[in-house]
Amino acid sequence: MTSVGQGIDRADARAKVRGEAQYAADTPVAGLVHAFVVTSALGHGRVTAIDASAARTVPGVLAVITPDNAPRVPGATKKKVSFDRILQVVQDADVRYADQPIAVVVADTPERARAAGEALVVSYAPSPIAVSLAQNEAAGRKPAKAGPRAEPDSSRGDFAGALASAAVKVEQTYTTSIQHHHPMELHGTIAVWQGNDALTLYDATQGVFPCRERLAGAFDLPPEKVRVISHYVGGGFGCKGSAWSHVALAALAARVVKRPVKLVLTRQQVCSLVGYRPRTIQHVTLAAAKDGQLRAMRHDVISETSRFDEFVEPSGLVTRMLYACPNVTTTHRVVELDVPTPTFTRAPGEATGNFALEVALDELAYELGVDPVELRLKNYAEHDEDENKPWSSKSLRECYRRAAEQFGWRHRRPLPGSQREQHLLVGWGMATASYPARQSAASARVKRDRDGNFVVQAGTQDIGTGTYTILAQIAADALGVAVERVRVEIGDTALPETPVSGGSQTASSTGSAVKRAAEALKQKLDALSASDRSADTELVAELKTEEKPDRKRFSTHGFGAQFVEVKVDPDLGVVRVTRAVSAFATGKILNVKTARSQFMGGMVWGIGLALLEHSRRDERSGRIVTRDLADYHVPVNADVPELEVIMLNELDPHVNEIGAKGIGEIGITGMPAAIANAVYHATGKRVRELPITLDKLL
């Protein structure tokens, strides 16, 4: 009996389409009141006075919390792990960025709380402001890390010597814009205190346990005194991976009014209070022999961060490992600006860095006069040259072959502008996709209930990727039962501990724990006599998994190949993606239906990154001016053609217990570069700045 790999419908589908799925901010709580965050109209300086007299006259107002009367939050600026954030919870009068929280109003309805918040009269003392990465590029400094674990700089071989002797060189600068996450479900928290020393949070979070740890630290509580519940998450894309200021503000407000408090950010506040993808400036140098063999590569990345915290967009990491090259140098620098802290966003580092590297490779292919696929095969990395390890598995050659064949790449005419359809210019482009296969320690519990069915329990969250479904499939196969006999309970710190749902690691981490717990329970069942096996007593198996011991001997990555056709209107500069074929090798496919959805979702993100998504910041005030979905453009049906996904079911005995590498984010990598390369093939104009808007082509 096998359910893993089958295209089983989502276990949560019916609840979601019927509106029965309970999201955090929809949780019914008795005695609930509402909070509204008031944010700064100033980009940098100090609040000199807040006049709350008018706000307090609004009917139903329970509290106006400002730096003058806010209780202290002792751990607001103390971080335990790298993805913790320094919180702004109205503890002082300093304004560090535009739209920073400066007050919280609590009232009996959300409308009254907002009306009272907007009635506050705030006086400021402004300071000089700097928010432009381009104007402050020279002020970049070396960060502590690039991403959670990697060193910011790397070097192997003799880059300078190899560059000097190379026959062909490409040296260019590539830039990517600020992007915001904009999940459909806004960030929302309900905070409920039990006395002064126990807190329950219903929070829209990608990590119930990291949220618990951050709030426990902020309020100086033991972690076991904080419970976080998040049964469904309506999109996160990275911005719900950390506990942000509004979560602590909800808890602070609930403590002040001594009632449960709901705080939901507005769409506009999402642009300042929960992170974003930072702007990057990337300098890439490639050098090759006449036969196309890479001799030297250099990738220098500059990105923005806030002055009070640090986030690094690790765009150079992909260049360290993706291709065979003896001489490689990468660097990361951050520029401190008067802006909010950026955060993980849809394949952080990999998506932005892949764009720069893969467009540079396309430029090199044209300089050499070779096919872009052939150039990549010429420099195929048989092992990870950065870590000097073999791959746990790698089927990238097969991805190139399958996708190119399905796309019809052999019919491509290399000359830019040589393919037309009536008055439209037609371009074909391709790029490599890759993403690390991460795994963290996780725990799970599997029980046989009194009815003879099974319950899987793990604290992990379902952020829309199908976690409820694949955990049931994994457990069912390990137990040797039909998947209909397995129920999954997740999204609660009262359950066994699991990592954040980010970095495409939930299946590999929590899934591995579920498999081993289910196997342990099956061993218990097999050891019972026939009469005991049918008794109406509960049986439980719980365990924690770490990385597989042999995993450390291998480099673990997923790979893919993206092929894209675009059509460009030469009169209007409008670009349309009209066809896309992509092949991915990410270990075992656990559910072909949810997997296809995740790959396609990533490809759509890639279309958005390449052509549409761009947050605009007013450099005078520091405010984001594209603050809602009317101004911030994302792909809609008319922007997305039929996407063809080829999934290679790859055998990898080393990566983890279930053989899955994770697929949530790999689909975005390679797509922006493939589109940019197709635009060049169509028009002969090389665009090195994302998004590719019509003004860059006219």
Q: What are the pLDDT digits (tens) for 659-681?
A: 999 999 999 999 999 999 999 99
Per-residue pLDDT at 178 exceeds 70: yes
Classified as helix, coil or strand, 563 is strand
- Which strands make up the sheet holding 101-107, listed edge to edge? 61-65, 101-107, 33-39, 261-264, 188-193, 199-203, 226-229
Question: Model confidence at 83, in pLDDT bands (50, 70, 90)?
Answer: confident
Q: What is the pLDDT of residue 4?
A: 97
Higher pLDDT, residue 148 or 64: 64
Percent helix, percent strand, percent coil in the chain, to nearest 5: 30, 25, 45
Catalytic residues: 665
How much is the pLDDT for 536? Answer: 66
* Start-to-end C-alpha separation, the chain: 59
Greater pLDDT, 565 or 537: 565
Predicted local confidence at residue 535, as pLDDT? 66
DSSP output for 50-98? EE-HHHHTSTTEEEEE-TTTPPP-TTTT--SSTT------S-SSEE-ST
Residue 562: pLDDT band by 50, 70, 90 thresholds? very high
pLDDT reported for residue 546: 81
Mean pLDDT of the chain, nearest integer: 96
- Contact, 345 vs 277, CB < 8 A? yes
Question: Does residue 538 have a pLDDT over 90?
Answer: no
Per-residue H/E/C for 220-256: CCCHHHEEEECCCCCCCCCCCCCCCHHHHHHHHHHHH
The tens digit of pLDDT for each residue in 5-52 reads: 999 999 999 999 999 999 999 999 999 999 999 999 999 999 999 999
Secondary structure, 3-state, 397-463: HHHHHHHHHHHCHHHCCCCCCCCEECCEEEEEEEEEEEEECCCCCEEEEEEECCCCCEEEECCCCCC
In tens, the pLDDT along 344-369 reads 999 999 999 999 999 999 999 999 99
Instruction: Give which of 274, 19, 126 is closest to 621, Cα–Cα.
Output: 126
Residue 537 has pLDDT above 90, yes or no: no
Question: What is the rounded distance in angstroms from the CA atom of residue 152 to the CA atom of residue 530?
Answer: 59
Q: What is the pLDDT of residues 379-434, one digit of tens each?
A: 999 999 999 999 999 999 999 999 999 999 999 999 999 999 999 999 999 999 99
Say yes or no to pLDDT of 143 above 90: yes
Instruction: Evaluate if residue 297 carries a pLDDT over 70.
Output: yes
Q: How far is CA 237 from CA 181, 182, 552, 665, in A?
A: 6, 8, 28, 9
Residue 545's pLDDT is 83
> DSSP readout, 267-299?
TTTHHHHS--BPPEEEEEEEEE-TTS-EEEEEE
Query: Do residues 686 and 617 lie in contact, with contact meaning Cβ atoms separated by under 8 Å?
Result: no
Span 448-477, pLDDT tens digits? 998 889 999 999 999 999 999 999 999 999
Q: Which helix (H) or strand (E) holds 121?
A: strand 121-126
pLDDT digits (tens, 9 = 90+) for 576-630: 999 999 999 999 999 999 999 999 999 999 999 999 999 999 999 999 999 999 9
Q: Which two tokens stand for residue 246?
A: 């509004």
Phi, psi of 351 (to 5 degrees): -65, -45
> b/e map of 256-285 (b: 16 or more CB within 10 Å)?
bbebbbbbbbbeebbbbbbbbbbbbbbebb
The DSSP secondary structure of 130-195, one letter per residue, reads ---TGGGGGG-B--S-BTTTB-S-EEES-HHHHHHH-SEEEEEEEEE--B----SSPPEEEEEEST
Closest by CA position to 331, among listed 119, 153, 554, 93: 153
* pLDDT tens readout for residues 432-444: 999 999 999 999 9
Phi and psi dihedrals of 305, rounded to 5?
Answer: -145, 170
Cis ω on the peptide bond leading into residue 672 (within 30° of 0)?
Answer: no
d(C-alpha 73, C-alpha 273), whole Å: 18
Q: What are the chain's domains?
A: 31-127+189-235+240-273 (3.90.1170.50), 139-179+276-437+553-696 (3.30.365.10), 440-546 (3.30.365.10)
Q: Mean pLDDT, to the nearest integer, of 141-152?
A: 94
For residue 584, the model assigns a pLDDT of 98
**Average pLDDT for residues 504-514, to the nearest whole number?**
96
pLDDT for position 529: 77
Checking if the pLDDT of 645 tops 90, the result is yes
**Residue 480: Cβ within 10 Å count:** 12
Q: Is the pLDDT of residue 1 over 80?
A: no
The residue written with tokens 């009068």 in the block is 93
**Position 293 confidence tier, pLDDT thresholds 50, 70, 90:** very high
Closest CA to 559 of 437, 674, 433: 433
